């Protein structure tokens, strides 16, 4: 329910959005820069723009520090079109404004044009126009319906938000409460300390993201807000380049970005009354051309979706699609696949237009856009009835878990629990039978799927042992090349009322309870015992929740202690924990081991020339490459020093390790990060030393099993050899243990 309200309000906020981006403004897809502008890019290759850290979905800061959101996508397009690179620096908004004024950073994003800022900033053309409205506590207990209803009321606003502070001047009879953060404003209105606040969509989005769904739309105040990019006013070329980039974004690309972060515009009355959709002319024409829409699904994932024995689709998402297609006036054509992996491959190859019941992941976002989630389900662990599970996967690194191949949570869990052993099964029934037979400790999936399969496959000796913190947000995925299909489907999804979603869900997951005997006559005899039991259960429930919160907090603390804050990779401390563990395992199991030490070439020279903020960006981009290339369960990537990295490969052979190192070197060079101060290497490159320890290194009786530190030093020698021989290369060495010395 909270997500429906949020998305409808975001639609209403963006009602003015379409008029701002005229077709003529985005007719071109190429940018011609002047000599002065090209010289400016050469002199200032990276522009750092400050922004707030709680203005979602315009700027979203992930748990790993990665930035996404509407502003990020627009800036990325400008960067690709013009060659001028940007870095978004989120944080306290007042601090970012002060830094821009002192020119410690180059400008501001997600800001508005104010005379006070003209003193130190020039402004771009608007890149989005928003409508201001009033948020109140859920249920609107004070019945605030007009501006006059705010007389005598307390309005909380974010201190330093000049736009809201100026809007507040139009409410002279209200008490204005200035607070230091967006989250503090959300809390004040949610708890009744304040009666209302102003918003343009970001605060309501943020409230639902942080688990505080206690705000709702009250009224529009007919105040619009143009968001612009501001850059220091002694750099006029920067604004000229940005404006050229904005004008060069095509209408199709604009719609794609809009569809990713916002649903298509609805009016305020539609948002308030949950009215069905109305399609634009473009959307209607597109649906007529594409009809029927090609559909992929998981053929074996009940109750969400599957195929019957006679190849007819069934399940929760099939019922959803039937309703959506009725409202769109469209038809679907099912593209048959053997399994979920094949369905993903089919839509990625362009042979399918949309895919059902897809969990939203960064990997899939590379080729799919998503509607808002229709369902959100927690992952649960299923074990044998004679086993126990304490809720923390960290304690079960010596156990084997089953999951169905291709499901999104596999890589997520492997990253969060590196020591976890996961075996991929072809289908759910096979995995559950393995658990029931004792061949695996547990199976991880969604509760409705497990319950359905266990019941229909008659698998009895298993139980659901507990929820994990990870969830599946299940949505409809649409190929990125079809933004009009996404916007049409998004409108149809929003038109689904909560009662409709619940009816469909319950139709496939409900359980019937029957009371066959009336035990009320026993109540006088057991009332005291029941009260005592309820009291014990209540306190046990509270204690369980407290312990769970404590475990989660400890897990977060552990994660922070082993993660490098800047790059999101494992840190040096964790390297010293993992390396000896994997070295001992290699000795014990006679497994190959590959250690790759990496150094960014001429990094000190880059820092001296471009500054440490630009150097941090380079470290982050190299770190992102390492994360992208180390996705197998046996790969570990670390930042072990300033510009030094290490990769430990435990599950691949010699040739694949060589291929991995060379691909990483080439990928870094292809980032084309300018390093104009270095005549030897005009772009950022890597030097790499790869030490290969073969599986049979210790077969000989006279072998000396050196310590892991000795292996590390040997890899370090290879790295320095790569640097001494000219850098931007991989030097490989095969380590063989020396023979024991003998005395005569």
Q: What is the mean pLDDT of residues 538-558?
A: 66
Q: What is the pLDDT of residues 49-80, one digit of tens each?
A: 999 876 777 788 876 678 888 888 899 889 98
What integer pLDDT is reported at residue 22 of this predicted model? 32
Which of 370-374, 516-520, 570-574 is predicted least confidently?
516-520
Q: What is the largest CA-CA distance in the chain?
A: 104
Question: Model pTM?
Answer: 0.37
Check whether 13 has a pLDDT greater than 60: no
DSSP string computed for 404-426 = ETT-THHHHHHHHSTT-EEEEES
pLDDT band at 111 (very low <50, low <70, confident <90, very high): confident
What integer pLDDT is reported at residue 278 of this predicted model? 67
Kind of pairing between the strands at 421-425 and 400-404: parallel
What integer pLDDT is reported at residue 208 of this predicted model? 62
Q: What is the mean pLDDT of residues 148-160?
A: 89
What integer pLDDT is reported at residue 521 of this predicted model? 45
Tokens found for residue 618: 């380079």
Check whether 497 has a pLDDT greater than 60: yes
Tokens found for residue 142: 């004070």
Check whether 740 has a pLDDT greater than 70: no
For residue 72, the SS3 value is: helix
Check whether 427 has a pLDDT greater than 90: no
State the helix-helix crossing angle for 35-43 and 236-248, rounded to 10 degrees.
110
- The whole-angstrom separation of Cα 427 and Cα 125 is 53
In the block, residue with structure tokens 């599946």: 472
pLDDT band at 628 (very low <50, low <70, confident <90, very high): confident
Q: What is the mean pLDDT of residues 265-294?
A: 64
- The whole-angstrom separation of Cα 708 and Cα 616 is 30
Torsion of CA 548, 549, 555, 557, to 10 degrees: -160
Which of 143-147, 332-336, 622-626 is predicted least confidently?
143-147
What integer pLDDT is reported at residue 190 of this predicted model? 84
Burial of residue 577 (number of CB atoms within 10 Å: 0-12, 13-18, 19+):
exposed
Higher pLDDT, 200 or 417: 417
What integer pLDDT is reported at residue 520 of this predicted model? 46
Check whether 441 has a pLDDT greater than 80: yes
What integer pLDDT is reported at residue 213 of this predicted model? 61
Tokens found for residue 191: 């708890």
Check whether 302 has a pLDDT greater than 80: yes
Enumerate helices (H) and strands (E) in the chain, giving the number of each.
26, 28
Check whether 687 has a pLDDT greater than 90: yes
Check whether 18 has a pLDDT greater than 60: no
Higher pLDDT, 276 or 551: 551
Q: What is the mean pLDDT of residues 184-191?
A: 87
In the block, residue with structure tokens 């604004």: 239
Secondary structure element (H or E) that encloses residue 313, with its range:
strand 313-314
What integer pLDDT is reported at residue 477 of this predicted model? 92
Q: What is the pLDDT of residues 202-213, one digit of tens each?
A: 776 677 666 666
Higher pLDDT, 528 or 630: 630
- The whole-angstrom separation of Cα 711 and Cα 675 is 33
132-141, 241-250, 489-498, range with greatest mean pLDDT: 241-250
What integer pLDDT is reported at residue 230 of this predicted model? 93
Q: What is the mean pLDDT of residues 89-109?
A: 90
What integer pLDDT is reported at residue 216 of this predicted model? 75
Check whether 701 has a pLDDT greater than 70: no
For residue 276, the SS3 value is: coil
3-7, 20-24, 487-491, range with greatest mean pLDDT: 487-491
Which sign, positive or negative, has the C-alpha torsion 251, 257, 263, 265? negative
Tokens found for residue 570: 């494992």
Per the prediction, the chain carries an average pLDDT of: 79
What integer pLDDT is reported at residue 567 of this predicted model? 87
What integer pLDDT is reported at residue 442 of this predicted model? 92
Higher pLDDT, 430 or 16: 430
Q: Write the CA distances from 347 to 13, 316, 341, 535, 662, integer angstroms.
A: 33, 21, 10, 53, 30
Q: What is the pLDDT of residues 574-593, one digit of tens each?
A: 888 888 888 888 877 778 88
pLDDT over 90 percentage in the chain:
19
pLDDT band at 267 (very low <50, low <70, confident <90, very high): very low
What integer pLDDT is reported at residue 619 of this predicted model? 92
Higher pLDDT, 55 or 615: 615
What integer pLDDT is reported at residue 479 of this predicted model? 92
pLDDT band at 175 (very low <50, low <70, confident <90, very high): very high
């Amino acid at each position: 329910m909270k997500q429906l309200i949020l998305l409808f309000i975001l639609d209403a906020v963006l009602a003015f959005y379409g008029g701002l981006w005229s077709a003529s403004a985005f007719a071109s897809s190429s940018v011609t820069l002047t000599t002065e502008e090209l010289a400016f890019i050469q002199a200032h290759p990276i522009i750092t723009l400050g922004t707030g850290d709680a203005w979602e979905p315009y700027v979203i800061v992930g748990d790993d520090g990665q930035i996404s959101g509407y502003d990020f996508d627009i800036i990325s397009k400008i960067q690709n079109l013009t060659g001028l690179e940007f870095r978004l620096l989120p944080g306290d908004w007042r601090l970012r404004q002060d830094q821009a004024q002192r020119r410690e950073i180059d400008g501001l994003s997600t800001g508005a044009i104010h005379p006070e800022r003209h003193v130190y900033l020039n402004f771009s053309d608007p890149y989005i126009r928003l409508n201001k409205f009033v948020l109140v506590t859920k249920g609107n207990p004070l019945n605030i319906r007009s501006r006059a209803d705010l007389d005598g009321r307390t309005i909380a606003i974010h201190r330093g938000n000049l736009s809201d502070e100026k809007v507040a001047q139009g409410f002279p009879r209200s008490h204005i409460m200035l607070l230091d953060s967006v989250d503090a404003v959300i809390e004040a209105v949610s708890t009744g300390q304040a009666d209302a606040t102003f918003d343009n969509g970001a605060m309501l989005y943020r409230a639902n993201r942080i688990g505080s769904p206690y705000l709702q739309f009250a009224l529009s105040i007919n105040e619009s807000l143009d968001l612009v990019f501001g850059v220091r006013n002694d750099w006029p070329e920067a604004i000229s380049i940005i404006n050229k980039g904005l004008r060069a974004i095509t209408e199709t690309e604009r719609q794609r970005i809009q569809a990713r972060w916002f649903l298509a515009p609805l009016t305020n009355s539609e948002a308030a009354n949950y009215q069905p959709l109305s399609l634009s002319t473009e959307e209607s024409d597109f649906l007529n051309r594409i009809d029927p829409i090609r559909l992929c699904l998981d053929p074996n994932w009940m109750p969400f979706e599957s195929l019957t024995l006679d190849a007819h689709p069934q399940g929760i998402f099939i019922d959803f699609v039937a309703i959506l297609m009725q409202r769109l006036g469209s038809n679907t054509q099912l593209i048959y696949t053997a399994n979920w992996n094949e369905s993903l491959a089919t839509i990625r190859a362009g042979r399918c237009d949309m895919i059902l019941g897809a969990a939203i992941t960064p990997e899939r976002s590379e080729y799919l856009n998503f509607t808002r989630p229709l369902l959100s389900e927690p992952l649960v662990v299923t074990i044998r009835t004679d086993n126990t599970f304490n809720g923390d996967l960290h304690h079960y690194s010596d156990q084997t878990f089953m999951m169905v191949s291709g499901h999104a949570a596999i890589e997520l869990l492997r990253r969060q629990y590196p020591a976890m052993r996961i075996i991929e099964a072809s289908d759910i029934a096979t995995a559950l039978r393995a658990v029931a037979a004792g061949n695996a400790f547990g199976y991880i999936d969604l509760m409705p799927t497990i319950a359905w399969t266990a019941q229909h496959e008659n698998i009895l000796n298993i139980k659901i042992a507990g929820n994990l913190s990870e969830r599946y947000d299940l949505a409809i995925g649409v190929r990125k090349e079809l933004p009009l299909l996404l916007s049409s489907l998004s409108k149809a999804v929003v038109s689904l009322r909560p009662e409709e979603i619940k009816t469909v869900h319950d139709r496939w997951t409900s359980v019937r309870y029957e009371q066959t005997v009336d035990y009320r006559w026993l109540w006088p005899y057991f009332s005291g015992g029941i009260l005592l039991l309820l009291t014990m259960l209540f306190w046990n429930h509270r204690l369980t929740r407290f312990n769970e919160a404590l475990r989660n907090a400890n897990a977060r603390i552990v994660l922070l202690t082993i993660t490098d804050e800047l790059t999101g990779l494992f840190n040096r401390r964790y390297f010293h924990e993992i390396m000896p563990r994997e070295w001992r395992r290699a000795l014990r199991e006679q497994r190959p081991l590959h250690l790759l030490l990496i150094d960014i070439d001429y990094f000190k020279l880059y820092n001296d020339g471009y500054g440490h903020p630009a150097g941090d960006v380079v470290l982050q981009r190299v770190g992102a490459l390492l994360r992208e290339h180390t996705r197998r369960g046996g790969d570990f990537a670390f930042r072990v020093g300033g510009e030094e990295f290490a990769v430990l490969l435990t599950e691949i052979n010699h040739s694949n390790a060589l291929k991995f190192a060379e691909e990483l070197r080439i990928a870094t060079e292809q980032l084309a990060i300018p390093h104009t101060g270095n005549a030897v290497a005009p772009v950022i490159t890597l030097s790499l030393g790869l030490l290969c320890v073969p599986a049979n290194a210790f077969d000989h009786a006279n072998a000396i099993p050196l310590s892991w530190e000795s292996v590390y030093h040997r890899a370090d020698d290879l790295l320095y050899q790569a640097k001494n021989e000219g850098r931007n290369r991989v030097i490989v060495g095969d380590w063989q243990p020396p023979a024991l010395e003998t005395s005569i």
